[in-house]
Structure 1
Amino acid sequence: MNSAGIKDVAALASVSIGTVSNVLNRPQLVAPETVKRVEAAMEELSYVPNEAARQLRLGRSRTLGIITPDASNPFFADVAVAAEKAAAEAGYTVIVGNSNGSDEREARYLELFEKLRVRGVLVSPVGESTPRLSQMRQRGTPAVLVGTSSDAACSSVSVDDAAGAEIAVDHLVHTGRRRLAFVGGPLTMRQVSDRFTGASRAVRKYAAVSIEHIHLREMTVEEGREAGRGLAQRPAADRPDGVFAANDLLAIGLAASLFTETRAASPEQMGLVGYDDITFAASSTLPLSSVRQPTELIARAAIDLLLQEAEDSGRAPRHVLYQPELVIRASTVASPPLVKSSSGREPADLTRANSPHRRLRKMDDPHY
């Protein structure tokens, strides 16, 4: 059955198509009795206005697109919710697409959003999507990267992931850990690559501290469980005594397999730090130390940048960078003695610098 159109409404209400259009867009210009008659005809015919067509006629969409790489990850879900809230406050609705870690799915969503003539797109890219985004921008659809930065003609809002990884590893070293492991992957994800870079950079500051990379295909709880089971099967002397997981989901899986299922280790024997500080990090059976990202600030800054570019397509790309903070909980119980750095000095006291109450800072951006 075909849906009713504006011509059907006009015929049933015995008015012109222009009158129906005025009822939809400028009801104050139409007599109240006529408005009631048109609305009654719409209800009888189950007429649904074509909002996309209306916005195209007006030349300005009130819809934004959001592409997230993993809708099941609470961090990305929180960013999407915060972005939707900020967009609603500005009078926009959002359509959310989940690329599920697939570059192909991401490309399809970008193509769809461009066809829908959305006002702009927020993207947490799977890999290197900037050439495609630059082309979209040139054709009139601005895009802002979320959670990662780029040198291309595309604005971004991100957190200094390398710095976040560095403070996580510094903390593990400060609690006496010498044999470290970075658990995460794939490295084709910019965030994972940056976090591994920061972790490696931190290790180089200390003598007698090493780090291994346990490569994973996905950043899920189950992948973390499997990684934990693999560590549990090693002889105790061959296990790391400090683990930095590339996100909290992995860390939660690691904790479940190592500390609960196999009981191969305890936080005293193997310190564990995650990344993102999702809600479950604090409320899990073993409260998890984690690097916190300011999701609300990230989302609002990204929406602001996107709407500014939608209003002025000639603006130069801007890059907003937030500094993360380390939230210390029970998963990193100290295991002395402390490890000396390559300079022979004890590691710096990180307690004050990385307090959960340390204020988040946004890097100065003259364009923002």
Structure 2
Amino acid sequence: MAQKKIRNMEELAAVSRISRPTLSKYFNDPDSVRRSTRERIELALTQFDYRPNVYAMNQNRRKTRNIGIVVPNLADPFFSEIGREVELACIGAGYTPILLSSHGNPAQERDNLESLRSLKPAGVLLAPFGRVSDRADIESFNKHIPVVLFDANVETACEAFVGTDNFQSIDLMVEYLCRSGEPPCLFEMKSPSNPNANKRRQAYLESMQRHGYTPHIFQAEGEGWNFEEIGSAEGGRLISENAFNTNTVLCSNDRLAIGMLSAAYRLGKRVGHGPACTLRIAGHDDHPFSRFTCPSLTTIAQDYAAIANRAASTLFRIIDTDERPEKREETLFNGSLVMRESA
């Protein structure tokens, strides 16, 4: 026999003869009601088809269990992966994640924050664009709802930032490339929106100096999110012009490197370590596709899980204690060298 469909908590209260406040108290925390009452409610739930609207319950609380998560572009598998890790951290802590993508558009980042205001989240985990983010808007949002930044750091009044130590990771890669072959040139975008690119450029300059080599930086024209296309077009142009000072190229991120690998193939250049190879290419981030390129891409792996869990736990602490840190917290995790066939 089919269960009778119950549309809302008022109907459940009427048919079960249990007051609505008691039902609400139970659904918020089953242990908050007497055992005998809990047993009556659980019996009613076996007799009637009812599922509480968790979203509506959240909205009626003074402090919701919603956590906003905003990333620059979910079409990028890098952000899909780190976004997934942040979601799982929220779910594991009993929060309801609301994951929003800015679709490569800084204006959408502002709109996402505005949308979250109406949802009354307990806090927000934000991976900002960086240079083109509306810092004033982020700071205004943070005055009312705590914000923890991850992946890209921007100088705002947000509570904390969690990401990768680009100076450690780039130095690790430069040291390996110098030790295993010719010192690397750096290939990057001329106008990067993500502040990680600027830190990686400075880290490259300092690392090359420490190792006693002259740095060579090549910047690609183009803006936006089409990194592979830019890497292929601009990287291919530089390869065909024999512009690079050495046979080793360190790309600012894996997506540029993937584009350059395709350009090298198109131009008939062998990439890797073998005697027939004339070019080495390395990247940064350990993009989910980097192990499947041909040849597979040497890169730096960021610790997605550690970054996600630290960012989430920092935000949960702020929410649970209702205390903002006196000083902005910054946590940086080391990157790990992943040696593959391309370098």
Q: Give the TM-score category using the shorter length.
A: 0.7 to 0.9
Match of 2:103? 100
Counterpart check, 1:271 vs 2:280: yes
**CA shift at 1:54, angstroms?**
2.0
- The one-letter code of the counterpart of 2:136 is P
Give the structure-2-normalised TM-score: 0.81
Aligned partners of 1:113, 1:275: CA distance in 2, in Å? 32
The Cα offsets for residues 101-143 of structure 1, whole Å up to 9 and x where unpaired, read as 221111111112222111111111012444333322321x111
Aligned residue for 2:136, secondary structure, equals helix
For 1:151-162, list aligned pairs within 5 A: 151-154=155-158, 155-162=160-167
Distance 1:213 1:173, change over 3 A: farther
Aligned partners of 2:249, 2:201: CA distance in 1, in Å? 12
The Cα offsets for residues 60-115 of structure 1, whole Å up to 9 and x where unpaired, read as 32221111112132322221122222222211121111112221111111112222
CA contact (8 A) 1:251 1:274 kept: yes
Q: 2:68 aligns with which of 55, 65, 68?
A: 65
Aligned residue for 1:183, secondary structure, equals strand
- The one-letter code of the counterpart of 1:278 is H
Gaps of 5+ in 2: 1-5
Match of 2:259? 253
Identity %: 24
For 1:3-14, list aligned pairs within 5 A: 4-11=7-14
**CA shift at 1:12, angstroms?**
5.7
For 1:326-345, list aligned pairs within 5 A: 326-332=337-343
Aligned partners of 2:270, 2:93: CA distance in 1, in Å? 50
Gaps of 5+ in 1: 333-368
For 1:92-241, list aligned pairs within 5 A: 92-127=95-130, 128-139=133-144, 141-154=145-158, 155-177=160-182, 180-184=185-189, 186-205=191-210, 206-217=212-223, 218=225, 220-232=227-239, 234-236=240-242, 241=247
The Cα offsets for residues 160-205 of structure 1, whole Å up to 9 and x where unpaired, read as 2244234333443444436724133642321122122222333445
- The one-letter code of the counterpart of 2:79 is F
Match of 2:54? 51
Match of 1:324? 335
Distance 1:309 1:133, change over 3 A: farther
Match of 1:291? 300
Distance 1:239 1:199, change over 3 A: same
Distance 1:170 1:182, change over 3 A: farther
Distance 1:23 1:170, change over 3 A: closer
Distance 1:130 1:321, change over 3 A: farther
Aligned partners of 2:166, 2:244: CA distance in 1, in Å? 28
Distance 1:255 1:7, change over 3 A: same
Root-mean-square deviation (CA, aligned residues, Å) is 3.0
Give the structure-1-normalised TM-score: 0.76
Aligned partners of 1:270, 1:327: CA distance in 2, in Å? 18
- The one-letter code of the counterpart of 2:203 is G
**CA shift at 1:277, angstroms?**
1.3
The Cα offsets for residues 213-233 of structure 1, whole Å up to 9 and x where unpaired, read as 22342353333333343234x
Aligned residue for 1:177, secondary structure, equals coil
CA contact (8 A) 2:71 2:126 kept: yes
**CA shift at 1:38, angstroms?**
6.5
Counterpart check, 1:281 vs 2:284: no
Distance 1:197 1:249, change over 3 A: same
The Cα offsets for residues 217-262 of structure 1, whole Å up to 9 and x where unpaired, read as 2353333333343234x3446676222222212212211221x333
Aligned partners of 1:160, 1:121: CA distance in 2, in Å? 22
The Cα offsets for residues 301-329 of structure 1, whole Å up to 9 and x where unpaired, read as 10111111112333222111122232222
Counterpart check, 1:314 vs 2:324: yes
CA contact (8 A) 1:182 1:245 kept: yes
Aligned partners of 2:334, 2:293: CA distance in 1, in Å? 25
Aligned partners of 1:33, 1:48: CA distance in 2, in Å? 16
Aligned partners of 1:283, 1:250: CA distance in 2, in Å? 15
Aligned residue for 1:302, secondary structure, equals helix
Match of 1:349? none
- The one-letter code of the counterpart of 1:202 is S
Match of 1:354? none
CA contact (8 A) 1:144 1:156 kept: yes
Distance 1:34 1:327, change over 3 A: closer
